[in-house]
Amino acid sequence: QKEVEQNSGPLSVPEGAIASLNCTYSDRGSQSFFWYRQYSGKSPELIMFIYSNGDKEDGRFTAQLNKASQYVSLLIRDSQPSDSATYLCAVFDRGDSSYKLIFGSGTRLLVRP
């Protein structure tokens, strides 16, 4: 059973700080990783995806991937109260006859004004 693990939080940071969200996965063969943001009562929206080891930056967001250690993280710089949401880590799983995303349980982020 392939698994994606996240700390449920809440992770509380002050406005302007860096928020660091972490995710580990069980399948060493996984190749593609995604971060989604979900506001309460809404559906998830894609923030970033990363395929290669190292860092990938997009605005205030940086995704970090370390395949050897099987973890992927998301850094949010200059955190804003509007960033308060649940962040879902997802790993692409290509099975024998289908493919799907396996989601972690999500980390709730609270940015204090």
Partner 1 sequence: GAVVSQHPSWVICKSGTSVKIECRSLDFQATTMFWYRQFPKQSLMLMATSNEGSKATYEQGVEKDKFLINHASLTLSTLTVTSAHPEDSSFYICSARDPDSSYEQYFGPGTRLTVT
Pick the closer one to partner 1 by CB: 12 or 15.
12
Pick the closer one to partner 1 by CB: 18 or 46.
46
79 in Cβ contact with 19 (< 8 Å): yes
Q: What minimum distance in Å lies between the beta carbon of 16 and partner 1?
A: 28
Beta strands per DSSP E along 29-83: 33-38, 45-50, 54-58, 61-66, 71-76
Residues 57, 62: Cα–Cα separation, whole Å: 4
Q: What minimum distance in Å lies between the beta carbon of 22 and partner 1?
A: 16
Which residues lie near partner 1 (CB under 8 A)? 32, 34, 36, 41-46, 49, 88, 92, 97-101, 103-106
Q: What minimum distance in Å lies between the beta carbon of 26 and partner 1?
A: 16
- Residue corresponding to tokens 């580990």: 24
